[in-house]
Amino acid sequence: MSLPALFDVPASSPAVPVASGPSGVTVLSYGLGADSTAILLRFLAHPERYGLRPDLSDLVVVHAVTGDEWPDSLDYVERLVLPRLRAARVRLVQIARGGQEDADGVVILDDSRAPRRVFAHGPWRLSDELRSAGTVPQMANGNRTCSIRAKGFCLDAWAAAEFGTAWFRRTIGYHAGEIGRAEKDSRIQDGLNAAAGRTLCEPYYPLIHEGMDRAAVEAYVLEELGEPIRKSYCAMCCFSGVCASRDAHEDRLRRHPRIAADVLRLEYVSQALNEKVALYGTTSLRSRLTEDGRNAAVVEEFARSLARAPHAVYEVRRIYFAARTADCRTWHGQDCRAPRWWCRQPRTEHCARAHPVAELGPWCAGAEACRGEARKGQAWRSVRTVHEGDRAGTEAYVWAMAAEHGMRFEAGEHSGIERAHYLTEGDGYPTASAYLVAAPAGVHDKQRPRFEERFTALTGRDGTVGMPVRELPEPRPRRATAGRPLVRPAESLIPPR
């Protein structure tokens, strides 16, 4: 993936310093929020109390740029925090992902003891990735994958390049109300240290040691900086009801109606492609905002931006495979490659008589007793763009296709978004669904290499109903990182904000 010209990078990584034992450096992961700002101010005020040198030459403040931070958070830190860092000559390193793939590495946007600005974005933004995937930030297996990709990956790669095999003290802003999170973090770090066979870093939680809870942290920052600090998070964060109270979040959306409209559009596309994936599960930000008349201007801005946005018609097909069940394991051992709803052999005598295998469609139409437990397995999604135009034109296309192919029109249960369905999932697994929907353009066509084959085997259908506007991108082999992502300084450091 080529990087924008603003981020010209040299061809190779700087050499990784090799050392062992302690580096003697304390790293503060600076998220721009109240907790890490409080720690930073305390470090500046009393370095020795926190085991730092009086001149703070052994402190590195690292900020991972997601590209979607609120402008008022950037402004706050630039006005009130950076002057203090400059005065104390504290080193601030700003880093961002180099691109979508890990092989694109990490770009150092700035590394300075006299920082003048906080970068709004690097060559990659979390929201761009979400927009092209047609989704919103989500949890996966209890993890915030967005945060791992946008922040954790950059911080780990930068630290590995900076310290080599030397270990450092990693300062994290958990406050006294977050002891459970700190304990979990310590356990994870212990596991990582054990797996590496050495100490990678030593976690340090100064706010917990000092018994400062969230209220104490906010009061301290207010006292020091004279203005209440605003919470720091990506504008489209699915934890925005947690990161900030709902009221504070909605107030911020009202102050930034354009950003609000962008977030609402991102959510709209996500729901168009998957009814169940709004910003807060099935509950959408849009439905929350419409509950309160104070948000009318934001909702209108969104309506205008939706009307103006270039649109596409997406043909969305899904295969829901069956998961293996206890029955399936009992009768088909380790090796059942095609678990089915009735994956229960030997079948009952009645089933064998009444529903001979040759007559079974995708699922046994027989009595309940014939079937084993139905459990949903993996779901595969294919998104193909079959038409492009303005909003009215793409909606007209969907209506015309629905009339021509006898599709069923239905508004989404949560979103109200209208879709033309030509295949609806059945009760058992495997099963499939398919529909056409008009929504803002920008989602990249995507499906697994064997999707068509499996879709045809399951449904008897051949390809899409609409004519895809473009070919699927060729699957590219994953690029190697030689075990370690590149960490590269940007040569041009001034992206427009």
Residues at the interface with ligand SF4 (CB under 6 A)? 66, 126, 137, 144, 146-147, 150, 233-234, 237, 239
Judged by CB, which is closer to ligand SF4: 267, or 315? 267
137 binds, among Zn ion, ligand SF4, none (CB under 5 to 8 A by kind): ligand SF4
Contact present, 435 and 316 (Cβ < 8 Å): yes
The b/e string for 100-133 (b: 16+ C-beta within 10 A; e otherwise) is eebebbbbbbbbbeebebbbbbbbbbbbebbbeb
Question: Pick from 105, 115, 122, 339: which binds Zn ion (CB under 5 A)?
Answer: 339
From the list ligand SF4, Zn ion, none, partner contacted by residue 439 (C-beta under 5 to 8 A by kind): none
Strand, coil or helix: what is 193? helix
To the nearest 10°, report the CA torsion of 167, 169, 172, 177.
120
Nearer residue to ligand SF4 within complex by CB, 144 or 181: 144
Which residue(s) pair with 26 in the sheet? 59, 169
Residue 150 interface partner, choices ligand SF4, Zn ion, none, CB cut-off 5-8 Å depending on type = ligand SF4
Nearer to Zn ion, 115 or 339 (CB): 339
**For residue 204, what are the β-bridge partners?**
171
Query: Residue 235: which of ligand SF4, Zn ion, none does it interact with, CB under 5 to 8 A by kind?
Result: none
One of 366, 372, 442, 495 touching Zn ion (CB under 5 A): 366
Residues 124-143 that bind Zn ion (CB under 5 A): none
- Among Zn ion, ligand SF4, none, what binds residue 343 when CB lies within 5 to 8 Å by partner kind? Zn ion
Classify burial at 427, counting beta carbons within 10 Å of its beta carbon; exposed 0-12, middle 13-18, buried 19 or more. Answer: exposed
- Nearest approach, Cβ of residue 376 and Zn ion (Å): 15
Binding characters for Zn ion, 300-329, by CB under 5 A (x = yes): ----------------------------x-
Q: How far is the CB of 466 from ligand SF4 (least distance, A)?
A: 33
80/336 with CB nearer Zn ion: 336
Report CA 254 to chain centroid distance, whole Å: 24
8 Å CB contact between 137 and 146: yes
Cα(68)–Cα(232) distance, rounded to whole angstroms?
10
Q: Could you tell which of Zn ion, ligand SF4, none binds residue 13, using a CB distance below 5 to 8 A set by kind?
A: none
Among Zn ion, ligand SF4, none, what does residue 233 contact (CB within 5–8 Å per kind)?
ligand SF4
DSSP, residue by residue, 413-457: TTT--EEEEEE---SSSSEEEEEEEEEES-PPPB--TTHHHHHHH
Nearer residue to ligand SF4 within complex by CB, 9 or 146: 146
Residue closer to ligand SF4 (CB basis): 26 or 147: 147
Identity at 263, one-letter amino acid code: V
Q: Does 336 bind Zn ion (CB under 5 A)?
A: yes
Pattern 368-387, binding to Zn ion, x per CB under 5 A?
Answer: --x-----------------
* Least distance to ligand SF4, CB of residue 121, Å: 13
- Smaller CB separation from ligand SF4, 66 or 325: 66
| C-beta of 146 vs 316, nearer to ligand SF4 | 146
Note the maximum CA span of the chain: 86
If the CB atoms of residues 235 and 432 are measured against ligand SF4, the closer one turns out to be 235
Report d(CA 285, CA 281) in Å as an integer: 10
Name which position in 95, 351, 398, 490 contacts Zn ion (CB under 5 A): 351
Q: Which pairs count as long-range contacts for 401-410, CB under 8 Å and 24+ apart, including other chains?
A: 401/313, 401/436, 401/465, 401/466, 402/436, 405/465, 407/435, 407/436
CB of 495 to ligand SF4, least distance (A): 19
**Nearer to ligand SF4 by C-beta: 33 or 430?**
33
Give the Cα separation of 91 and 59 in Å (integer).
7
Smallest gap, in angstroms, from Cβ of residue 263 to ligand SF4?
Answer: 10
For Zn ion, the binding residues in 33-72 under the rule CB under 5 A are none
Of 271 and 433, nearer to ligand SF4 (C-beta) is: 271
C-alpha neighbours within 13 Å on the C-beta side of residue 86: 12
Helix (H) or strand (E) holding 397: helix 391-405
Q: Which is nearer to Zn ion, 293 or 356 (CB)?
A: 356
Rounded Cα gap, residues 285 and 39, in angstroms: 33
CB of 242 to ligand SF4, least distance (A): 9
Q: How far is the CB of 69 from ligand SF4 (least distance, A)?
A: 8
Name the E strands within 44-132: 59-64, 91-97, 106-112
DSSP string, 84-109: HHHHHT-EEEEEEE-SSSGGG-EEEE
**Out of 25, 244, 309, 343, which residue is the one contacting Zn ion (CB under 5 A)?**
343
* Residue in 77, 364, 432, 436 binding Zn ion, rule: CB under 5 A: 364
Helix (H) or strand (E) holding 83: helix 82-88
Contacted by 336, from Zn ion, ligand SF4, none: CB < 5 to 8 Å by type: Zn ion
For the bound state, the minimum distance from the C-beta of residue 109 to ligand SF4, rounded and expressed in Å, comes to 17
> Which residues, at least 6 apart from 172, have a Cβ–Cβ distance to it below 8 Å?
29, 182, 185, 203, 204, 205
Residue (of 333, 334, 441, 353) closest to 393 by Cα position:
441
**What is the contact surface with Zn ion in residues (CB under 5 A)?**
328, 332, 336, 339, 343, 351, 355, 364, 366, 370
